[in-house]
Structure 1
C-alpha cells in the first residue's frame, strides 16, 4: 500500500466518524465567522483529491461534474444538504481513494501537469500530489475541529 494513500484513508476514517457523530443540522451549520460547514469541508477534500491526482494527470476521476463544481477550490457553502446528499458524500469517502490505489498500482499516472498550489509549492508528479493532498486534508481537518467547537 502506498503510504500517502494510507494516510489519506486514515483521515477519511476521521471524516466518517464526524458523519456518524453529528446530526444533519450540525453538519450543515455554518457558525458565525466561518464560510463553510463540516459537510462542505469533507466534500471539498474528496473533490480536491480527485482534481490533484486525476485531472492533473490527464485522467478521468470518479466524481460527477456537478459535485466538482459545488466543492472545488473557491466554492463555499451555498445551501443545506439533504440526508441523501450527505449519504452520497459518505459513500464517496473511500470509493475514489480505493480507485486511486488501484490506478497507482497499475501505474496509470504516467503524465502530470505541473501545478502551483496556493502555498506556493509546485506539484510535478502524482507522488508529490499525494503528499500535498494529505497536507490539504489536514488543513480541512483543522477547520472541521474548529467548526465542531463552534457548534
Structure 2
C-alpha cells in the first residue's frame, strides 16, 4: 500500500469522526451510560491523542499535544478522574480537523521508515514500519468511532451522523 492510499484512508476515517462530533451536543458528550467507562468527549480526545502519540512515538519524535491532553485522553484514563475542565467539542474539532493534514505533511514519503524498535501488540503482532503504525492508528480510530456510535445509541440518539465529502 502506498503513502497516498494510507493518507487517503486517514482523511476518510477522520471525516467520519468529525461528522460524528458534529452530530454531538455538549450535553451528549459527557454522558456515560451504564456499561461504558468513558464518554463521547473522551473517545474524541483519545482518537487525537492516540494517533499523535502512536505515530510520533514510533519514530521517537515529539507529538504536538496541548497541555493536559495526555492526562485527560490517554489509554486508561476516564472523565471520572478529570480535575480540570476538559476541552469543548469545538476545541477538539479543531485539533481533529487539522491533525491528518499535519501528519500527512510531516510523514509523507517516510512511511517505509523503520522505527528504532518495533511496535508490538501482544505476542503475535509486530509493526516495523511507519506505514504499519499509521494503518493501525487508522484502525484504532475506527474502533473508537464504533464506541461513539454505541454511546449515542445508548443515549437514544436517532440521528447518528452523516458523512461529508472531501478532505
Q: TM (normalized to structure 1)?
A: 0.86
Runs of 5+ consecutive residues of structure 1 not aligned to the other structure: none
Task: Give aligned pairs, total.
Answer: 151
- Which has the higher mean CA deviation after the structures are superposed, 29-38 or 16-25? 16-25
- Deviation at 1:65? 4.9
Q: Which residue of 1 aligns with 2:30?
A: 28
Runs of 5+ consecutive residues of structure 2 not aligned to the other structure: 156-167
- Which has the higher mean CA deviation after the structures are superposed, 124-133 or 82-91? 82-91
Q: Which runs of 4+ in 1 moved over 3 A?
A: 79-84, 106-111
Higher percent of residues as helix: 1
Higher percent of residues as strand: 2
Q: TM (normalized to structure 2)?
A: 0.78
Say yes or no: does 1:114 pair with 2:92: no
Q: Which residue of 1 aligns with 2:144?
A: 140
* Rg larger in structure: 2
Distance in 2 separating the partners of 1:119 and 1:43: 28
Relative distance call for 1:5 and 1:108 in structure 2 (3 A) is: closer
In the alignment, is the contact (CA less than 8 A) between 1:38 and 1:144 conserved in 2?
yes
Q: Which residue of 1 aligns with 2:103?
A: 100
* Cα-Cα RMSD: 2.5
Match of 1:127 among 131, 135, 158: 131
Distance in 1 separating the partners of 2:71 and 2:7: 24
